[in-house]
Structure 1
Amino acid sequence: MSACAHCQNPLILEVDLSDDEDVPMQASSSKAPAAPTNTVPDDVTLGVVYRQCLLDSYQVTQCPSCARDIASNSPTGGQQVLVNLNNEGGLQENLDILPLLTEESYLRAYPEDRICRAFLELCREGDFAAIVGLLKSCEETSDDEEEDEDMDDDSPPVPRKSADEVLRYQDPIGDMQSGLHAAVAAGSREVAWLLLLLASQLPEMEFPALVYQEAGALGVMREDQTGKVDIRSLRDAQGKTAEQIAAEMGGVWHGWVGNGRLAV
């Protein structure tokens, strides 16, 4: 059996089968049995290195065993880490895992941003209802909050993000995009309207009645925006606002550019 060149542990991953419908449950036992597990390969063929060792090193472009540079230039001119990944999904050859390693390493350092990154993904998917549900969950408080599944019992609690912080979040490992940038790039006018309603100073008369109706049906309303950052003013890593991206795209954004909807 192969072992990690860094930690010498076997290159396997234990998969918890307790949620598998085919595994019988023994609820009547006075002592709960150990959750059944199965093992699958979990190697990243660089040397070979265990995937967790790459994450623990916080240097995702260096081999944690020999410190050699494992990144190469991508066709677009950026960096990539091409590997043969063998895990529960089978063997995947020449897979660029740099985006995954970068995000996982970032979230280990800043676990409180997990909800913000989920928000950006929903903006890209155009999931209006799910965005509302996520934002409402930010304001829910409880004396008995469930602990993060990824955190140890003695770990400090993960700071909560407010809805205002989530709405105005800019992705530091994703070109500093905001939710409005993501919605515009995805061509989602419904999500753009929602974000303008909740995080901009666009005059109320500019909103179609349907926008208020849909938001009201999902239990959200516009709050006073005085003193808050207008989401339309946020710029990505290239210095572009959401309106500039819309102008470059055209299409669904015809009629939005130049009239103040996407620009302060």
Structure 2
Amino acid sequence: MNTCAACHDPLVVEIDPQDDDLEVPAAASSSSSAAAPQTVPDDIHLVACGCHYHWQCLLDAYSVTECPSCGASIVSQAPDGGQQVLSNIDNEGGAQQNVDILPLLSEEGYLKAYPEERKCRAFLEFCRQGDVEAVVEMLQGGHDDDSDSDSDDEDERAGAMDTDAPPRDPVDLLRYQDALGDNSSALHAAVASGSQEVAWVLLLLSSNLDLGHFPPQVLDEAKALGLARDDQTAAKVDIRSLRDAEGRTAEDLAAMVGGVWQPWLGNRWLAV
């Protein structure tokens, strides 16, 4: 069996059957204390050099485009002319061949250098998903010091909110732009996902849009959730004015998407 080039342990990870709702045979469950721990594969096989890693071991060791073990280049040319890092992955989700993991490695490398942006990127992802509950929870918890949290979270949302990164002010979350991608803002993300509910939250908290333009139910729900607009002074950038890497505002993107945003365009709610 291949072993991890970093820690030299077998390329598996132990799992908790109870946490993963795995079925345990009756005979095994009756003598669970003596049973061997259950494992699943955890093998990242770098195609270019042939080295194998646990995923976390690769993330911990990776910093450049060379294999951290043998020093060989692991970058190849992608079909579009860019760069790629191909790997064969075998984990609990099954086996996948020739997967480009460069975007993941680049993001993790960036977050190592700028750990304070981890929450911002999680917030942006929730906006992309149109998950208004997660968006509101992150904004309400923006001042909480969660650096002492050392427990395993039960779901992805809790995992994104409980990080070791320093807490960020909600204003930073609201106006963050994707430094690794297309420089899109949370409002761009909400428009792209078609989430009007997230868009209303963002406009309420980070724009100068007159409150008279907000539907009464939006203001009622915001009040019930404890969301209130701060003083939107000139020092605070109106989220509607932020532009992505192609120079587009959220209104420009809404015009391209159309659909649910047509009434918004007619009412100029996304225009500065």
Shared fold (TM-score, shorter chain, > 0.5): yes
State whether structure 2 residue 243 is matched by structure 1 residue 224: no
Quote the residue 2:102 is aligned against: 98
Corresponding letter in the other structure for 2:10: P
Quote the residue 2:155 is aligned against: none
- CA spacing shift, 1:148–1:242, aligned 2, 3 Å: farther
Q: For 1:122-178, what per-residue CA distance to the aligned partner results, in whole angstroms no more than 9, with x for missing partners? A: 111212222111110113469xx633559xxxxxx6321011111111121122221
Quote the residue 1:248 is aligned against: 256
Quote the residue 2:149 is aligned against: 147
Secondary structure of the 1:100 match is: helix
- CA spacing shift, 1:90–1:223, aligned 2, 3 Å: same
- CA spacing shift, 1:58–1:258, aligned 2, 3 Å: farther
Quote the residue 1:48 is aligned against: 51
- CA spacing shift, 1:112–1:256, aligned 2, 3 Å: same
Q: Normalising by the residue count of structure 1, what TM-score does the alignment of the two structures yield?
A: 0.79
**2: distance between equivalents of 1:59 and 1:95?**
19
Q: Percent identity?
A: 58
State whether structure 2 residue 243 is matched by structure 1 residue 262: no
Quote the residue 1:111 is aligned against: 115
Quote the residue 2:216 is aligned against: 209
- Deviation (angstroms), 1:61: 3.5
State whether structure 2 residue 16 is matched by structure 1 residue 12: no
**2: distance between equivalents of 1:72 and 1:260?**
46
**1: distance between equivalents of 2:217 and 2:208?**
18
Q: For 1:104-133, what per-residue CA distance to the aligned partner results, in whole angstroms no more than 9, with x for missing partners? A: 333333333222222112111212222111
Quote the residue 1:153 is aligned against: none
Match of 1:234 among 237, 242, 255: 242
**2: distance between equivalents of 1:8 and 1:128?**
43
Q: Normalising by the residue count of structure 2, what TM-score does the alignment of the two structures yield?
A: 0.77
**Long gaps (5+) in structure 2:** 25-32, 153-163
**Contact 1:53–1:64 under 8 Å retained in 2:** no
Corresponding letter in the other structure for 1:248: M
Higher deviation after alignment, 124-133 or 5-14: 5-14
State whether structure 2 residue 143 is matched by structure 1 residue 172: no
**2: distance between equivalents of 1:5 and 1:159?**
32
- CA spacing shift, 1:221–1:259, aligned 2, 3 Å: same
State whether structure 2 residue 138 is matched by structure 1 residue 134: yes
Secondary structure of the 1:54 match is: helix
- CA spacing shift, 1:121–1:64, aligned 2, 3 Å: same
**Long gaps (5+) in structure 1:** 24-32, 151-156
- CA spacing shift, 1:201–1:76, aligned 2, 3 Å: farther
**Contact 2:176–2:185 under 8 Å retained in 1:** yes
Q: For 1:63-112, what per-residue CA distance to the aligned partner results, in whole angstroms no more than 9, with x for missing partners? A: 22333332334445543322210123232222222232223333333333
Matched residues, number: 245
**2: distance between equivalents of 1:112 and 1:18?**
33
Secondary structure of the 1:236 match is: coil
**1: distance between equivalents of 2:89 and 2:198?**
36
State whether structure 2 residue 90 is matched by structure 1 residue 86: yes
**Contact 2:119–2:165 under 8 Å retained in 1:** no
**2: distance between equivalents of 1:126 and 1:9?**
40
